Structure 1
């Protein structure tokens, strides 16, 4: 058996929770700015998920170029802020709702746009981040 998992400290947990609040409130604001009735294309969810993927690419590039980055950078920003910002569950509900309301073509386009957009956004964020962080070093 492996060693027991390290116990997170209060600072780590509070940082992740605070980051989650920031990300969730931001996602909520985007939902208010880009509302969509059930069965219509879920632009707000697509926007937060693709921009979250872009931000994750930037974060990963930053952390790889700075091995001495603060120990809370990845959990607070990656798990907290970006975890609160992005939403797989809303994506899944949106796909099912589009299908149930007879919008199969839009559901397929949404799945494709979310997947390809997310992968391309992480790649772009990583490439841009590597250039930015190396120039700044």
Structure 2
């Protein structure tokens, strides 16, 4: 139960962080390019890399801190960070084919699923 609460709290803080970063960027830059989401994705990748390395190194050795920071905070901030980290792990483990299938499948199927969701919502 403690683990679920830590993920829940971290996810809430991460979601708030994503909201405020996006709001801040939109207030600074008017553009068709989604700078807010772009910044969240890149900073989320930095954060998950930092937190996982710190946890593995022993600086954040508690499994609870890892649940709060990596699963909760980074997961709430952006799932792209998890996607990126998993791809780095696959490359590090010399599983390039799996990485390519995972990456291309996630992108292509994600676009198709989004489009189907839009079509379905329009026709309800």
TM-score by length of 2: 0.57
Structure 2 counterpart of 1:28:
19
Structure 2, unmatched stretches of 5+, are: 89-124
Q: 1:44 aligns with which of 13, 36, 39?
A: 36
Q: Say if 2:22 and 2:40, in contact at 8 Å, map to a contact too.
A: no
Q: How many pairs does the alignment contain?
A: 82
- Indicate the structure whose relative CO is greater, using CA pairs within 8 Å and at least 6 residues apart: 1
Write the deviation string for residues 36-90 of structure 1: whole angstroms up to 9, x where unpaired: 77x81000001111001001111121112118811212211111000111145xx
- Are the equivalent residues in 2 in contact too, given 1:31–1:44 (CA < 8 A)? yes
Question: RMSD between aligned alpha carbons?
Answer: 2.8
For residues 10-38 of structure 1, what are the alpha-carbon distances to aligned partners after superposition, in whole Å with 9 as ceiling and x for unaligned? 1111100000000000100011112277x
More helix by share: 2
Q: Is contact 1:45-1:87 (8 Å) kept?
A: no
In structure 1, C-alpha distance between the alignment counterparts of 2:60 and 2:41, rounded to whole Å: 28
Q: Which runs of 5+ in 1 are unaligned?
A: 1-9, 89-114, 123-137
Structure 1 consecutive aligned stretches of length 4 or more whose deviation exceeds 6 Å: none
Query: C-alpha separation between the residues in 2 aligned to 1:84 and 1:22?
Result: 7
Distance, in Å, in 2 between the alignment partners of 1:87 and 1:16 is 14
Counterparts of residues 1-137 of structure 1 (less than 5 Å) = 10-35=1-26, 40-66=32-58, 69-88=61-80
